[in-house]
Chains A and B, each alone.
Chain A
């Protein structure tokens, strides 16, 4: 294996006309600095407008969004969504302390189990590290509180997103991950999710629900923007 490695690296160095004792400090410092490139101005907005922009783009990409004033209203909002969509009152929830702390007793008709997704779980409920206003994108990552299978296996994925976690750009998301996991490391999986699964592989007509969720529903918590806008 290491012979193949030397063969490939040797071929690259010959083509680049570089000696074996290459100066690595330029590349190492570029990585260490991870400087931002140009970021579109679109999401460079006051806080409330960022939340509104996030919602606009998420809806444009076929996600649905419900706003609730505070976290205690999440179980009720979830039950209402399931009823409106004619879905069974059963959810597979991420073992996330923030979600576990919600007042589930308020919804005795709702069955909540915890853990990674199993076939045929119909509805999953997860948190998210961030929402990215630029494109209405959710940022989720794997870990004890976030089984990745919940994001893809069930037909309906419901995400609880505190409005204060909405940031402008992907780059803001990377900084949040660096703050949590340190420089130069990521958890096994980081997912950017923008709307539900889709395909255009048959005659270029877009169909939702190709292999991943058919529906993506975002419960936006504590978005005071409502009051400010209306």
Chain B
């Protein structure tokens, strides 16, 4: 997918000024946070399960090559095929070759962030194959020519009246006077339209929440059942998955599943968790004849063994963005690439480069809510800080910020000078400000939206010194 992460600041400014987006994003804050909290409260073992889930992934990542080899062996034994893909281009080519060999004209797709990452739909379309998204949210944004704005709720940036307008514009064979203002009616209409697509498709493409080394199995976790219709009806099932999705055993998947749905949607468990192993067996009455796994690296192998390895534990639940004040304000599109929110702020620079995505790790208040809810205990703020350091070291941060930091560093390295200057500045600013500044030179970014409180007249160090001498302990 093309990135617009360089334009993050402009994107964010436009997003904040969009009243429709603001209405839509209110549902994120109201819905996800409360539901997660309730689900967590119902499971006393939740915190211990988070530790266990983290440990499983850490162990797996430390032996990733070995588990992947075992996984591939089991897929092959079950009659499936693994296609190793170092880059997005390799993965696009692999999918297209399989589709062409199957003589495919249309493919149905379950929701897959990896398919977004490799921009699969555009590639298939450019080669004469029609991809049909079947997840309701993905279907809506495909009609609109948009990308997902959330990793588990791709159309969360839209209100129902916008969806109604899209359906009326695209489903022109249906009577124009039909009622379509309720979510119920919209869901039913999409259901009817997509039914025929499932039955007509030659190939079904799904993602994978997990790959299981023990059995060579891919796992999808869904609520709609679209992924299942996508993979049971066509002749060919293609799974697109990135290589860090592997876990050792079925027991390990079970443990991580217990934290996944609760963190994501606040459900006890998702409606459908489906484990697929190879193509249909000779005696099976239905199922696909071919089973392919397109296994993508795309930069992940170089995250291993370094300071961003922990990010590879991510199970894409979306809890970090659901709890992020920055995401609540600007939504997912402003981040400019596939992965928004805190997990995107860490992952995107790893996958497309800090030169391209340097703004993202800076778009954080470091409030720490993302880390506090991450089921895999990924230290997201710490890793954003690593990116900021790298950005600074490589002289990628803006000149103004660098000059400001250099000025501050000059004084900070000279404590008595620092003390002297701040001792002079505090009473001066207190006198000038009369409680607050409405405008302040060089601080327009702050004062454009809120007042800057003026100092009280004495510096923190002065107050501290007084307190140490005479004040109560």
Interface residues of A (CB under 8 A from B): 1, 4-5, 7-9, 11-18, 22, 24, 26-28, 30-31, 34-38, 40-42, 57, 60-61, 95, 115-117, 119, 135-137, 142-144, 147-149, 151-153, 169-171, 174, 184-205, 207, 209-213
* Contact A184-B74, Cβ < 8 Å, known A27-B66, A191-B274, A192-B272: yes
* Contact A212-B224, Cβ < 8 Å, known A17-B305, A37-B251, A201-B155: yes
Looking at B133-141, B338-346, B381-389, B394-402, the stretch in contact with chain A turns out to be B133-141
Query: Residue A188 contacts which of B135, B258, B280 (CB distance < 8 angstroms)?
Result: B280
| Residues of chain B contacted by A42 (CB below 8 angstroms) | 43
Interface residues of B (CB under 8 A from A): 24, 27-28, 30-32, 43-45, 48-49, 52, 56, 59, 62-70, 74, 77-78, 83-86, 90, 134-137, 140, 153-156, 158-160, 163, 183-184, 186-188, 191, 194-195, 199, 213-215, 217, 223-226, 228-229, 232-233, 243, 248-252, 254-255, 257-258, 265, 267-281, 283-287, 295, 297, 301-306
Most chain B beta carbons < 10 A, residue from A8, A22, A185, A193: A8
Query: Residue A202 contacts which of B85, B160, B232, B257 (CB distance < 8 angstroms)?
Result: B160
Q: Kindly provide the distance from the CB of B68 to the nearest chain A CB, expressed in whole angstroms.
A: 7
| Residues of chain A contacted by B233 (CB below 8 angstroms) | 149, 153
The closest CB in chain A to the CB of B304 belongs to A15
The A-B contact count (CB < 8 A) is 276
| Residues of chain A contacted by B229 (CB below 8 angstroms) | 152-153, 211-212
| Residues of chain B contacted by A207 (CB below 8 angstroms) | 183-184, 187
Query: Residue B70 contacts which of A28, A136, A190 (CB distance < 8 angstroms)?
Result: A28
Asked if residues A137 and B269 are in contact (CB atoms below 8 Å), the reply is yes
| Residues of chain B contacted by A169 (CB below 8 angstroms) | 254
Query: Residue A211 contacts which of B226, B258, B287 (CB distance < 8 angstroms)?
Result: B226
| Residues of chain A contacted by B85 (CB below 8 angstroms) | 4, 8
The closest CB in chain B to the CB of A95 belongs to B285
| Residues of chain A contacted by B160 (CB below 8 angstroms) | 202-203
Asked if residues A119 and B268 are in contact (CB atoms below 8 Å), the reply is no
Asked if residues B224 and A38 are in contact (CB atoms below 8 Å), the reply is no
Bound: A171/B256 CA distance, A: 12
Asked if residues B65 and A9 are in contact (CB atoms below 8 Å), the reply is yes
